[in-house]
Amino acid sequence: MQVPILKQGAYLIATVQSALTDEDLKQLRDTLVLQVSKVRARGVIVDVTALDVIDSFATRTLRDVAYMIRLRGAETVIVGIQPEVAFSMVKLGLTLEGVATSLDLEEGLAYLDRKAKAHQEVRAHR
Amino acid sequence: MNGTQEVAAVTQARLETTGSRLRELVAHLRHQRAQLREEWARLITEAKLLTAMTKEEIFAEATSVYDNYVEALETGTYEALQAYARNLSERIIPRGVETHEVVGIVLLLRDVLARSLFATYHEDFNKLNRILDAYEPAANRIAATVAVGFVQERERIIREQQEAIRELSTPVLQVRERLLILPIIGVIDPQRARQLTEQLLRGIRTNRAKVVVLDITGVPYIDSPVANHLVQTVEAARLLGATVIVTGLSPEIAQTLVNIGVDLGKMNTVGDLQGGIEEAERLLGYKVVLMQEPALQST
């Protein structure tokens, strides 16, 4: 199952539609990391609202995506983790350390906007 | 007549006339109603049972119980008595009537009636024996029915109250746009901890909260599994994009958290609820300004 990736302004939005195999996850990671500089995106949103299970491989892959994209000069935010999913992840010790998370797509966009603004302010000061 | 023959005769008679003996018994109890009821009520007061009720109430209840009792003996069915026992329990439990009192009065009635049977039939020992054969099992069954009815009613009330306490125990309140508070009062057991997590994560989702203040001023202590659970809840809330500020940690709870080796980088704690709300407002970008003219008129 391929994950559609949409470009919205300066952001890429990947919306997961159904459960993903490990292969799917790897492909999503590679596509996002490749695309982010191709379209000169400043931020990436991965929407996992549709997932009712997020296992250790998925968590690690999502974290890798976030780290790799940061190295490529953009920000990542994971949005739409369901309450039950969040708690079972934490129970398994999967806390997505160092990765930004938001309630939903709207919040994710607001987060990236805020980040971009802060970034510009820092630049203006220089 | 020797002993064996006597026993055989009794058995024979029992088979034939259990019904008629019960009828006779019931007729006797109906006839003596006023006197026996009075005697019973007197014994109840003497034994200091049902102290929560007035004399008149005891007498009124005694009358109904008596009539229901005789009716149960007569018909051999216990549904009506059961319903009455439940109804009675419903009325008297809120007034603080204890189980031993209810069992006590039913046993008293059994004794009063047995005494009256002794008094009436003492001249004819065989007849007394046969009447008691009919009376005792029925009387015991009635006592059990009333006692069980009372206890069941009590348990039902306890279950209802537990349910109510559970529902009340974890309120999720929105104090500002994007800001929730969860005041927790009382001991957190594992079940309540689970419920707390559920309410908190659900509350974040439905209220679209960014910051949650979890106030545990009213929690005297927590054990390490619950402390762990609390920490996990805070982390789960972060995955939903919300920040949890824990306020009002008692020294004991602080000790427990340190003992389980909590990562303070993940836990945002503030001394009291006021500080927690102020910190939350700061995170949300609110600024509370005191107006020159207080809206509240001082008297």
Q: What is the pLDDT of residues B3-13, one digit of tens each?
A: 566 656 555 55
The per-residue pLDDT for B1 is 46
Q: Which whole number is the average pLDDT over B32-60?
A: 83
What are residue B250's phi and psi, to 5 degrees?
A: -75, 160
Distance CA B243, CA B234 (A): 8
Residues from chain A that touch B237, judged by Cβ atoms under 8 A, are 86
Angle of the B3-31 helix axis to the B55-75 helix axis, nearest 10: 130
Under CATH, what is the fold of the domain B3-164? Globin-like (1.10.490)
Q: Which whole number is the average pLDDT over A92-116?
A: 92
Reading phi first (left if > 0) and then psi (alpha if -120 to 50, else beta), residue B76 is in left
Q: Which whole number is the average pLDDT over B214-221?
A: 91
Q: Where in chain B is the domain with CATH 1.10.490.70?
A: 3-164
Average pLDDT, chain B: 84
Q: Which whole number is the average pLDDT over B235-243?
A: 94
Over residues B253-283, the pLDDT tens digits come to 888 888 888 777 778 899 999 999 999 999 9
The per-residue pLDDT for B178 is 93
ipTM of the complex: 0.82
Q: In angstroms, what separates the C-alpha of A80 from chain B's closest C-alpha?
A: 7
- Residue B204's nearest CA partner among B171, B235, B180 is B180
pLDDT at residue B16 tops 70: no
Under CATH, what is the fold of the domain A5-125? Transcription Regulator spoIIAA (3.30.750)
- Band of residue B185 on the pLDDT scale cut at 50, 70, 90: confident
Return the structure tokens found at A80. Answer: 């739409």
Structural domain boundaries in chain A: 5-125
Q: Where in chain B is the domain with CATH 3.30.750.24?
A: 173-284
Tell the CATH superfamily of the B173-284 domain: STAS domain (3.30.750.24)
Reduced DSSP (H G I as helix, E B as strand, rest coil) percent helix, strand, coil of chain B, to 5 = 70, 10, 25
Cross-chain residue pair B239–A81, CB shorter than 8 Å: yes
Q: Which whole number is the average pLDDT over B140-161?
A: 87
Lowest mean pLDDT among A104-118, B145-159, B228-242: B145-159
The per-residue pLDDT for A109 is 94
Q: Which whole number is the average pLDDT over B102-108?
A: 86
Angle of the B55-75 helix axis to the B33-46 helix axis, nearest 10: 130
Distance CA B269, CA B13 (A): 83
- Residue A55's nearest CA partner among A78, A88, A9 is A88
Percentage of chain A modeled with pLDDT above 90: 73
Q: Which whole number is the average pLDDT over B143-162?
A: 87
The per-residue pLDDT for B275 is 94
The per-residue pLDDT for B3 is 55
Of A84, A89, A107, the CB nearest to B241: A107
Lowest mean pLDDT among B15-19, B110-114, B128-132: B15-19
Residues in B whose CB is inside 8 Å of some CB of A read 197-198, 201-202, 204-205, 208, 232-233, 235-242, 266
The per-residue pLDDT for A16 is 94
pTM: 0.64
